[in-house]
Amino acid sequence: MHKACCWLLALSGCSVSMADSDGKAPTPTTDSPPNIIVLLADDLGYGDLSSYGHPSIRTPQLDRLASEGQRWTDFYVSAPICSPSRGALMTGKYPTRSGLYGRKNGVAWPKSDTQIPDDEITLPEALQNAGYETVMFGKWHLGDKPQALPTRHGFDRWVGLPYSNDMDHPEFDWRAVKGGAMRAQFDKFMQLSADPDSRHWNVTLYSSEKTGQAYQDKIVEKPVDLSTLTPLYTKEAVSYIKQRSADNKPFFMYLAYTAPHTPIYPGAVFSGKSLRGKYGDAVEEIDWSVGQIRSALDAEGLSRNTLIVFSSDNGPDGISKDNGSAGLLRGKKGTVFEGGMRVPAIFWWPGKIKSGLVSDLGALMDVYAVSVSLAGGRVDPSKMDAVDLSPALFAGQASPRTELLYHSNSGEILGYRHGRYKILVTKDGVTKSDSSAPLLYDLQEDPSEAWDLSSKEKAVADRMMKEMQARKALIEIKEPLFDR
């Protein structure tokens, strides 16, 4: 699918003014563009890896990547819920700028008309323009109709689920969880989640491949055994790496784990092994998967020309003891408190990444700008929200990202961070409150958002409110596509 991409500099041949060479972000010197692997967990909390402080979940493979690469402490998603967060990664834009959000529906529902707009140049499409081969394994959740699938939006091949593993059960529908029936529906969901047979969740495993101008879509397994998904994705990823080792063409791989999203079904090898119960089992299985992928890169001689990024799509669900933890952060998935939007982030590239702990701001959508930069191009900051983090990644400089807008599940902008300060116009982290009485936090000293400074630091609160309004005004608000 050819798309005009004049905001994408140097990859499309469009006539666009370039910044001065002095203003260009530093990129590592390589013989060819690097391979890029993005590993994304589902509902993994900020505090769920041992390198982020979890006392009983063991993640030695991810800890090793973190010690050899960079571990970011202030890294964010663009919305505290799945689909808009993933949409921002794919487009490099806040959800409201692309339309990948909903006022009524927070996520893309099965059989809806949701899809990434055709005029959006996705991350895999941008990299295809630069000569990359692109593959995806795992959960998509940006539309399930044929025209919405990953292969229609930049991926050469995809194996995975079209949406979450909890969205296809004959006895449960999340859209019924509202009003007076909410408690009973949640109880029903938890009962179904405890079912030892994961096949009662009627989830479909698909494969899709683009060959020329044609697409081959097929159902691989329905219902799929959810306990086999992490091993299956890992096997696909390792097999692909082995196939690519003899090819000089760079590749982009997006592996979006289904785990540790509820319902949780860790694989047989990991079931009952973690001190943290089945949630810990699922996280430790992801850690094993990361180790398998790294080992495959090492074995094929690809490690020194491959960037790995590991993160999560939002904070932990928190609906039961079998879900994750945001650590010292306040809130959970679905809220614009730190626990809903601040996520683990690890960058690894031997010999290229400046190893260490980074406490500057970064965002998952910034992976878009970093990847395009490594492929030899740049993005137009007037049309994109992604920021190229290359100065921090490769030169040990400060992160170019200094601010962030906090979008709610329904696309409302409920908060803003600039530097160490965060302003909120919500009391519960979900709905807008009286903006004349905002909350102000110093996240450097108070990452738990326990102490409101709006009265004590009124001048700062006033300045932050003005900045948030000015930043909001720069974003063209698109129609909410998830409500179709």
Count of alpha carbons within 13 angstroms of residue 314, beta-carbon side:
31
Classify residue 291 as exposed, middle or buried by CB count within 10 Å of its CB (0-12, 13-18, 19+).
Answer: middle
Question: What stretches of 249-312 adopt beta strand conformation (E)?
Answer: 251-256, 306-312
- Among 406, 325, 442, residue whose Cα is nearest residue 52: 325
3-state class (DSSP) for residue 462 = helix
- Residue found by looking up tokens 């995809």 in the block: 158
**82 classed as catalytic:** yes
141, 153, 169, 407: which is the annotated catalytic residue?
Answer: 141
Helix (H) or strand (E) holding 192: helix 182-193
- Among 266, 283, 271, residue whose Cα is nearest residue 49: 283
Alpha carbon of 405 to those of 120, 171, 208, 270: distances in Å? 21, 38, 35, 38
Q: Are 394 and 70 in contact (CB under 8 A)?
A: no
- Among 412, 447, 442, residue whose Cα is nearest residue 426: 412
Look up residue 286 and give its amino acid.
I
191 token code pair: 């009962």
Buried b (16+ CB within 10 A) or exposed e, 436-459: eebbbbbbeebbbbeebbbeebee
The CB density around residue 349, as the number of other CB atoms within 10 Å, is: 27
CA distance linking residue 46 with residue 339, whole number of Å = 7
82, 169, 261, 407: which is the annotated catalytic residue?
Answer: 82
Residues marked as catalytic: 82, 141
